[in-house]
Chain A
């Protein structure tokens, strides 16, 4: 479809997209690329000049506009909460519009507060009493209240600080795992697009589609210079997020417990570094073996071990990050409880990256490991 304004500006130019069911499709691009306009055409806040939008094969103009909008959750930047209504009544808006009784709508609203990770003690508060992140959660809860199959999100997390944003993104992925909505998500942040999107549509200024692909494909094969530039300089590193870290060959020989005896210490004497763990096996830090004395290890003298990764859960990117951050060039692998299960060198990770690239080029599927 196309959107042309009366003054001749073309916001969206012959855009054609097939948005997959029960998945997150992200529209991303610089300012003025028509991503918000595209989103707003889906719930008819903006009417296309040409073309049409089909929902399950039916033109969206075939039903009354307010019926259509009530079947699509709508989340906007800054949440757009009604400041004169309590949190509970804000969330109950669409159920009330649909004619539910006040009691039933409020009951549903309370369920949703829990679902989006809001304490129900906030129910009777007013929006001004909540933080930006909490307000945005209310915005998401309000959009989900009538259990719509489709969720439209217009830069919902761009007004909150990075830490809160990460929390909201993780929460959205968790909710999506539970509910399986068809989500269209607009953002100008390519990292957010890659993190959240099952499919990512990159739009360029003037409202033209530059590329529509899964994030891993976007990173490995950008369609043109614009997409490549938009992805940023480190797309190779970012692509590693989609390679799983399981199968990395871990070395256990440099591990040593802090209460090890002299004989065990002597057995590690030829390693350049050893990783000292506490008696439970949790990593404490690196040390050169000849600086350790059995029974008198000074924790203060250990070299920081950087951020550990969990093989199988974390991606190769996290593993490589750990290895790069570690002064010794080795990444520490831990199990789910934080106990060290082995260490891996940058060289071994490098091998794994090359192997993963070969698998992709040979047509094997890429398992997304976020």
Chain B
């Protein structure tokens, strides 16, 4: 049997489409964790990135934090948090957020920094208050890059959220871990396929968001 056969077997088994271990439930759980982790990471990364980028300060400190964040192995952190905190959502959220903050933070900072200084100067010279300079001049132009940081973070979260299953939480990782344990490769392949599909869907979603929110004047000149 090859991978395609495993996948076909997994998805055609009607038992996999119902109940607490059914695909809809696991899918919803996975999307739930991922969304929560992304929102928390964005709530940290975006404001810090925007403010440091706007004032052009703290770039070195950010690079340091980002490198440290990337160097931390998510799985190790998960186990550590699990031992320390115990069962629950928190030990899962911490590694996911730690994973997602650096790309959001660093890309947002860089995106704002790389905005052409002359419109910013013009805006200030016309008497635009600082907050408006940031949100009405810098952010619209930096938006494609900011979105790309969020997209990278989202995809990393979606792929990494499978580890939640190790600490007995749900999500699509359940199939992979249980499948490996039970030597049920249909399940492993099914879980992996679903995770990959979700990551692709995330890509498409961000592409659509960028089409909707980025001004045509920026899209084509950038």
- Measuring CB to CB, which residues of chain A are less than 8 angstroms from any residue of chain B? 40, 43, 45, 65-70, 74, 76-86, 93-94, 97, 126-128, 139, 142-143, 152
Contact = CB atoms under 8 A, between A and B. Distances in A.
B126 A93 contact: yes
Interface size class on chain B is 20 to 34
Contacts of B129: 66
Nearest to B140: A84
Contact of B125 (A67, A69, A127, A128): A69
Contacts of A76: 118, 121-122, 125
B119 A128 contact: no
Contacts of A85: 215, 217
B14 interface: no
B125 A74 contact: yes
A78 B119 CA distance: 9
Contacts of B222: 83
A84 B217 contact: yes
B118 A80 contact: yes
Nearest to A94: B126
Contacts of A70: 126-127
B141 A97 contact: no
B126 A74 contact: yes
Contact of A126 (B122, B123, B137, B217): B217
Contact of B118 (A45, A77, A143): A77
Interface in B131-170: 132, 136-137, 140-141
Contacts of A66: 127-129
21 contacts: A45-B124, A65-B127, A68-B127, A74-B125, A76-B118, A76-B121, A76-B125, A78-B118, A79-B118, A80-B116, A80-B120, A83-B119, A84-B140, A84-B214, A84-B215, A84-B218, A93-B126, A97-B128, A126-B215, A126-B221, A139-B122
A143 B125 CA distance: 10
B221 A43 contact: no
Contacts of B18: none
Contacts of B127: 65-70, 94, 97
Nearest to B136: A82
Given A80-B116, A85-B217, 20 more contacts: A40-B125, A65-B127, A66-B129, A69-B126, A69-B127, A74-B125, A76-B125, A80-B118, A80-B121, A81-B119, A81-B122, A82-B119, A83-B222, A84-B218, A97-B126, A97-B132, A127-B217, A128-B217, A142-B122, A143-B126
